[in-house]
Amino acid sequence: MTIRHHATELERHAETPLETLHALGGVLGEHVRLEERELFPRIEAALPADALARLADALSQPSDPSSRPA
């Protein structure tokens, strides 16, 4: 199941079953490991240092939650 599915289940129920929380934790952990092992090294290899620095600066700025996709 997807992260979005688990998040929807959390919003839908006043009390979240422990198994749902464990499942969400597992999916989130897998997602983070995928980013760390595959995505970030590809980005670092593809972008020059100055572009990485600008990207890091942009990502460190607070974002407006109202501008995020639903």
**Is it the case that residue 70 has pLDDT exceeding 70?**
no
pTM of this prediction?
A: 0.59
Q: What share of the chain is helix, strand, coil (3-state, %, to 5)?
A: 75, 0, 25
**What are 34-58's pLDDT values in tens digits?**
999 999 999 999 999 999 999 999 9
Nearest-angstrom CA–CA distance, 40 and 30: 14
Predicted local confidence at residue 68, as pLDDT: 65
